[in-house]
Structure 1
């Protein structure tokens, strides 16, 4: 059953194509799974470096220097094997292979957040187990290369790395967007578009993670989720969600400020037009009172309104006009401050 996690045609990972390098089975490199990740126009290599431990030599703590040296040699060999490739070495996970009969002290090798997964379930004693942590893992099975749990470990590890790499990409985009919006470098429309694209990316990431949970085999999914738990995936996911919410909130506030400025400008224009219309109306009435010839000008009766307008001096009407316009503007200004 294909999970789509290493299938470039999968819709949920259409932006994150993955294909295998021709290094599968190179035991001299100490790796059985090397993947090339293509994301954001950059290529990254991820690998699982396997290091067997001789339990007769003592605990892992006592062998720490020799193990570190062997890991470095195998990682250097891995880098040399892909020399000339445009890809960057992005992630190498170091895994110790310990015999089933050994129970080495692993506190110096794995982190306090380490997770344990057993092939036969947590209640089945004697079944092969995998301990996952940040960067370092442990498998207590000598025949790891050809075992069932070895195959599922490799698949689950790459699944976890795929999910992590995708979430890390979204985290970087969210961080850049939040910083740009805080500094006011993004245009409102550009910020809205980037925020929407970020929400779409996060929704696609949810589909990618759902594939790991629902479409992968039980052991493979358990390995992947165990690895992500040991890497504190949920903590990073919560921080990414917060960044996306911050970006959306900042975009919303900038959009509201932009709309408020636009509404303020529109109201100013309407206020000016209303003042001009009021002045024009008053002056038009005064002009009407003085229109026509002396014999037939309107309102020639002494009791007419037009005669009363003519009775008041035109300068007074002009003064009253500007006074009315000033009072109208003052009224609107006071209402805005309330």
Structure 2
């Protein structure tokens, strides 16, 4: 029997991933896996279970006009009580995870190794007790071994693996940075709770412009891992902006993924005035209307808040509005993420 992966994105940022058989309705599959999606009738009559299908193929059985119009169905809305998947799907659920009697998953792990990639970043590799499903670009809360603290980090690895990888900024005095730089040892126990976040790769239907600031490269590495596995029909231009050449970490991996995919162009930018590089300054110095395909592109941005604010203002100055713009800010406190 064929089984499909269904990602349920709740409005509080929590994602739960379930398995749905090829002859099973999504509501039934969710209930079987102890997730109570909003529902009153099970018959396509009330509209209580209406969600938005962001990705995937499916069949909709009977529904009444009072519960969902044909126009809504054409836009991608579904009644999960009448939805039978025909591929992996991503659904936006207009309810909180708590309302649906669920919560982020917690998976135990142990440290495989810590790599000092530069003075400003670490690479953390974690062996998971079981694979943790997520959408490429999403993050988890990671416990800091030996403390009660948690820090939020985007995966830099592909979904569904027994090994999770993270690219972590080295903040002097930071709880996680101090652990990674001073005490970390293979076998240390930690826990990952998630996945979470609205920053993840949507279906690629037009040219892509990806903007990474420093360790904001992490989610794009995860996205590229999936693209390398599943293929892509449109070009991707990834702008990777850092302060100094030494901060351009994971370039070998990035180049290998780009070569494997074949439709990825990597553009590196250095901000430090005393460095020599083909492109200097900030990412906004190298983005024009032509680079944005006149607005016919999807833009993804992960970087510090000033970078996000500068790019948004730059688009306004150009008079360009991308077809979609997804961004995630990360703060220097290591303490969380804000996505849109």
TM class by smaller structure = under 0.3
Query: Which TM-score applies when normalising by structure 1?
Result: 0.23
Larger radius of gyration: 1
Query: Which TM-score applies when normalising by structure 2?
Result: 0.23
Choose between structure 1 and 2: higher strand proportion.
2
Choose between structure 1 and 2: higher helix proportion.
1
